[in-house]
Amino acid sequence: MPSVNPYYDKLPGSYLFSEIGRRVREFTAAHPRNRLIRLGIGDVTSPLPPSVIRALHRAVEEQADPEGFKGYGPEQGYEFLRRAIVEDSFRNLGITPEEIFVSDGAKCDLGNFQELFDLSCKVAVTDPVYPVYVDSNVMAGRGGEWKDGRFSGIIYLPCNAENNFVPDLPRERPDLIYLCYPNNPTGTVLTKDQLQVWVDYAREKDCLILYDSAYEAYISGPDLPRSIYELEGARDVAVEFRSYSKLAGFTGLRCGYVVLPRTVPAGRAAGGGTDLWSMWLRRQSTKYNGCPYIVQRAAEAVHSQEGRAETRTLVKKYMDNARVIRAAFEETGFRVYGGEDAPYVWVKLPAGLDSWSFFDRLLHEAEIVGTPGAGFGPSGEGYFRLTGFGDPSLTEEAAARLKRMYKAIPE
Ligand code: PLP
């Protein structure tokens, strides 16, 4: 057999959600009659909005018609969708349809984008972190050694209650900086001033920000930035990643996009003056054949007046759940973060209680599945994540169980 990529061996044994799955399976095998409430994995539960379903049906019918049939689509996605995106989300921000690259979701884009950079590039992530940023760089060979819950080659920027979840600028200059706001897993946000600090830093130090705004639709604060391009100078130093998954329930349908301004230079490694836009186009047209036409029509419907109203209702439902969870934990005496501009509630555990122990306790005593903070990085230890994506009545039930649990079992 040929030698395999040795860097896969560097990845820590079990992916967070596999370990959760294993513990849940063990519990359900032992207690088959008990009804678990799952507030762990960040998947949506509501069906797709009606306007999206109608657009899908129409697009499917077109495929039966010789006039409407579509084969391979344009490399960057259909212009109808790229125009709708710019009109709806980037008007007045200087972004053009040709700077949008449609894909089958943000996870693939975020995992693939690091391919454009030299292996010597230094990567910084906020900690706790959405694991894809770290793991994809480790697979490529940028991780160094895994020791004490972190990779020696990655710069971790702790975000915790002590710094109010605002990362400090790194002491060592990174080449690539992954930022995610609203944040998964902490549910926290950055103000415009706080984000501007990062844009200014990237400009001064010649870094690239990879800005994941998969949860932008959950922002309610009127002055919070929804796109990094609202910040002065960001067009030269930032690439933004967006997704229809949490905006409109596309976790199964799959659609997302990269916003890549033509003004972002490729940096020293490219040598020949290539810009990042051209490199990403080359990468995508070599390795990817596009998001399905019917899905792009469905995504287009999200940007219609009806679609926007429907997705607002969807987002409100999940945010109401997040508020229920937040309130229940606050009532039982926990300190709670997030859950105001993001569907994630980040609970600080009492001193001495580690996040996997709390996971087991919540599973066994309240039959609720959440996510241990330690699974998101070293600074996640001592915290626990719950999501607002559940069914509202089950979320209420989970809140009631939690309150009962803490009445029955004093700390
Ligand atoms: N970015 C973050 C922070 C996420 O939490 C997720 C999904 O959970 C994604 C990206 C992936 O989105 P998609 O479903 O478009 O791949």
Q: 107 C-alpha to center of ligand 1: Å? A: 5
Evaluate: CB of 112 within 6 angstroms of ligand 1: no
Pocket test of ligand 1: the residue of 44, 107, 218, 389 to mutate, having most ligand atoms within 8 Å of its CB, is 107
Evaluate: CB of 249 within 6 angstroms of ligand 1: no
Evaluate: CB of 295 within 6 angstroms of ligand 1: no
Q: Quick check: bond before 74 cis, omega within 30?
A: no
What is the DSSP code string of 307-358? HHHHHHHHHHHHHHHHHHHHHHHHHTT-EEEE-SSSSEEEEEPPTT--HHHH
Q: 325 C-alpha to center of ligand 1: Å? A: 21
Evaluate: CB of 251 within 6 angstroms of ligand 1: yes
- CA torsion angle for 48, 52, 54, 60 (degrees, to 10)? -100
**Which protein residue has the closest C-alpha to ligand 1 atom 3?**
184
Evaluate: CB of 239 within 6 angstroms of ligand 1: no
Q: What does DSSP say about strands 123-127 and 154-158: parallel, antiparallel, or unpaired?
A: parallel
Evaluate: CB of 242 within 6 angstroms of ligand 1: no
Q: 265 C-alpha to center of ligand 1: Å? A: 26
> How many CB atoms neighbour CB 375 within 10 A?
22
Q: What does DSSP say about strands 123-127 and 176-180: parallel, antiparallel, or unpaired?
A: parallel
Question: What is the model's pLDDT at position 315?
Answer: 98
Question: What is the model's pLDDT at position 410?
Answer: 47
Q: Which atom of ligand 1 is nearest to the CA of 110?
A: 10
Q: Which atom of ligand 1 is nearest to the CA of 43?
A: 8
What are 335's strand-pairing partners?
348
Question: What is the model's pLDDT at position 74?
Answer: 96
Evaluate: CB of 105 within 6 angstroms of ligand 1: yes
Question: What is the model's pLDDT at position 409?
Answer: 52
277 CB-side CA count, 13 A: 17
Ordered per-residue pLDDT tens for the chain, 411 residues = 999 999 999 988 666 788 899 999 999 999 998 899 999 878 999 999 999 999 999 999 999 999 999 999 999 999 999 999 999 999 999 999 999 999 999 999 999 999 999 999 999 999 999 999 999 999 999 999 999 889 999 999 999 999 999 999 999 999 999 999 999 999 999 999 999 999 999 999 999 999 999 999 999 989 999 999 999 999 999 999 999 999 999 999 999 999 999 989 876 544 556 789 999 999 999 999 999 999 999 999 999 999 999 999 999 999 999 999 999 999 999 999 999 999 999 999 999 999 999 999 999 999 999 999 999 999 999 999 999 999 999 999 999 999 999 875 545
> How many CB atoms neighbour CB 56 within 10 A?
17
Evaluate: CB of 212 within 6 angstroms of ligand 1: yes
What are 275's strand-pairing partners?
265
Evaluate: CB of 103 within 6 angstroms of ligand 1: no
List strand residue ranges (DSSP E) for 69-175, in order. 100-103, 123-127, 146-147, 150-151, 154-158
Alpha carbon distance 25, 6 (integer Å) = 31
Domains and CATH numbers, the chain: 6-47+307-405 (3.90.1150.10), 52-304 (3.40.640.10)
Evaluate: CB of 256 within 6 angstroms of ligand 1: yes
Q: 224 C-alpha to center of ligand 1: Å? A: 20
Evaluate: CB of 243 within 6 angstroms of ligand 1: yes
What are 123's strand-pairing partners?
154, 176
Question: What is the model's pLDDT at position 271?
Answer: 52
Alpha carbon distance 137, 333 (integer Å) = 39
Question: What is the model's pLDDT at position 268?
Answer: 53
Evaluate: CB of 186 within 6 angstroms of ligand 1: no
**Which protein residue has the closest C-alpha to ligand 1 atom 11?**
107
Evaluate: CB of 130 within 6 angstroms of ligand 1: yes
Q: 246 C-alpha to center of ligand 1: Å? A: 8
pTM of the model: 0.96
Evaluate: CB of 180 within 6 angstroms of ligand 1: yes
Q: How many Å separate Cα 240 from the centre of its chain? A: 12
Question: What is the model's pLDDT at position 375?
Answer: 92
Q: Which atom of ligand 1 is nearest to the CA of 42?
A: 8
**Backbone angles phi and psi of 110, in degrees to 5:** -65, -35
